[in-house]
Amino acid sequence: MKALVLGASGATGKLVVGQLIKKNVFTRILIRKSAVLPKEIAENPLVETVKGNINQLGASEINNLVQSCNVVISCLGHNVSLKGMFGHPRYLVLDAIQSLSEAVRKNKIKKVKFILMSTTAYTNTLFGEKNSIGERIIFSILTTLLPPHRDNVKAANFMINEFGKHDEIIEWVAVRPDTLINDDVESAYEICESPVRSPIFNAGKTSRINVSHFMAELVTDEELWRKWVFKTPVIYNK
């Protein structure tokens, strides 16, 4: 088994890599040239580091990224700055998922797991989820004014529409944490099919370490994967 992790130098991404190392999963990571990794990741023999920006890679470089990988994990996110929020690339996550899935199909890799870090701000209307009037108004404003939110929505919709509930090559799970917090250690958490509280008016909390733990479990625990495959589970701290 080999996993490809995008956004591996980010706050959640590096925790995901750490969890995969604990499980002895060979991991290829793509990081920016300027990114700094913790020593335990940078010098770990289980980790292969590739430097570059996903939106600047050519087709052959994308093909090399997915080569021999049967898991793709995206922890990509936009930088919290004016340029990161409103500059290019506007569809960082969507474009990455599209290009990587095309490369997987061209390489004829069978049964690849795609795990997308999404958010409870994404409403899975295609699976019957509904928002209150107040939530719809706020989400509509966010979609219009904040390109990163629009990117997250389009990326999740692409996976649902493109791969659906059955795909011979690509299986997927979009993990939706609520308000992200930083904790040093894992704690008890619960997984729900849909939000059980309003992400706008009654948001819960989800520690990044718990998100990374759940994602790593999805990689190695086949029974858990079969439970959540082709779904958008929500994760909350208990």
> Residue 83 — very low, low, confident or very high, per pLDDT cuts 50/70/90?
low
> Residue 171 — very low, low, confident or very high, per pLDDT cuts 50/70/90?
very high
Interval 84-104: pLDDT, tens = 455 566 789 999 999 999 999
DSSP 199-237: TTTS--EEEHHHHHHHHHHHHH-HHHHHHHTTB--EEEE
Mean per-residue pLDDT, 76-81: 63
> Residue 148 — very low, low, confident or very high, per pLDDT cuts 50/70/90?
confident
Q: What is the pLDDT of residue 79?
A: 57
Q: What is the pLDDT of residue 144?
A: 81
Query: How far is it, in rounded angstroms, from Cα 16 to Cα 20?
Result: 6
Mean per-residue pLDDT, 162-174: 87
Mean per-residue pLDDT, 205-218: 98
Q: What is the pLDDT of residue 87?
A: 56
> What mean pLDDT is reported for the chain?
91
From 111-115, 138-142, 173-177, the region with the lowest mean pLDDT:
138-142
Q: What is the pLDDT of residue 115?
A: 97
> Residue 129 — very low, low, confident or very high, per pLDDT cuts 50/70/90?
very high
Q: 183-212 burial, b for 16+ CB within 10 Å, e for fewer?
A: eeeeeebebeebbeeebbeeebebbbbbbb
Residue 78 has pLDDT above 80, yes or no: no
Degrees to nearest 5, angle at CA 232 with 211 and 170: 100
Residue 109 has pLDDT above 80, yes or no: no
Residue 41 has pLDDT above 90, yes or no: yes
Q: What is the pLDDT of residue 166?
A: 75
Cβ–Cβ < 8 Å for 76, 5: no
Mean per-residue pLDDT, 61-75: 94
Residue 128 has pLDDT above 70, yes or no: yes
> Residue 149 — very low, low, confident or very high, per pLDDT cuts 50/70/90?
confident
Residue 228 has pLDDT above 70, yes or no: yes
